[in-house]
Amino acid sequence: MRGRTTAWPASRPGTFDKEVVTAIAEHVERPIIFPLSNPTEKIEAMPADLLAWTDGKVLTATGIPVDPVEYGGVRHVIGQANNALLYPGLGLGTVVAGATRLTAGMLLAAAEAVAGQVDARAPGAPLLPPVANLRASSATVAVAVVRAAVQDNVATRQPADLVQAVQDTMWQPVYGPLSEKEASP
């Protein structure tokens, strides 16, 4: 079919229904299900339902912020899968390293740095760090990316104090007064 394009199907709310989820759960001990569509009215399944349908065994993160869910006496913290958890730190680390290119090792280091910020083994633990801690998370990712850039021989800079170099390079949201009147006490 020359010249014809196929678009990715639009999100369908409820795509991960009880029948689908219980079928998955029959074949694996800890099913991994990521209902990532947003806004809320487009989400494929809600975490409370996923927990109920898998007897609390599902590993899940969503594309929307979701309050913790109580199931089976365990408080399940639901992570928000957001590209802001990876990309700011990836970019920051690339800049700090003066990397000549982005490598697979740098991408892997960024992903592992995000994942390493949580311990998903504990009952009810989130799979991802909270978006509310984005600044600290980005710094952690950036440090890992710089180290990977050095290891992959694409870094043009190797700061002696890597953590300080990352902190010094981070943008600081500090604003001056809007007018002279606001500037005077």
**Model pTM score:** 0.74
User: Which tens digits make up the pLDDT trace of 5-52?
Assistant: 555 455 678 889 999 999 999 999 999 999 998 888 899 999 999 999
pLDDT tops 90 at residue 122 = no
* Amino acid found at 41: E
User: What's the rounded mean pLDDT across residues 73-88?
Assistant: 91
Question: Does the pLDDT of residue 136 top 60, yes or no?
Answer: yes
Residue 143 above 70 pLDDT? yes
- What is the mean pLDDT of the segment spanning 81-98? 93
Q: Which pLDDT belongs to residue 13?
A: 83
154 has a pLDDT exceeding 80: yes
**Those residues with Cβ within 8 angstroms of residue 78's Cβ, 6 or more apart along the chain or in another chain:** 47, 60, 61, 62, 66, 67, 68, 69, 126
**Cα 76 from chain centroid (whole Å):** 17
Mean of the pLDDT values across residues 157-183? 87
Percent of the chain with pLDDT over 90: 68
More confident residue, 158 or 176: 158
CATH architecture of 11-81: 3-Layer(aba) Sandwich (3.40)
CB-based contacts of 98, cutoff 8 Å, min separation 6: 155, 156, 157
Quote the pLDDT of residue 12: 77
| Mean pLDDT confidence for 79-88 | 88
Q: Compute the distance between CA of residue 24 and CA of residue 147 in angstroms, rounded to an integer.
A: 38
Mean pLDDT, the chain, integer: 90
pLDDT > 90? residue 1: no
| Predicted confidence (pLDDT) at residue 120 exceeds the cutoff of 90 | no
Alpha helices (H) in 26-161, listed in sequence order: 47-53, 87-97, 104-115, 134-151
CATH 3.40.50.720 in the chain: give the residue spans.
Answer: 11-81
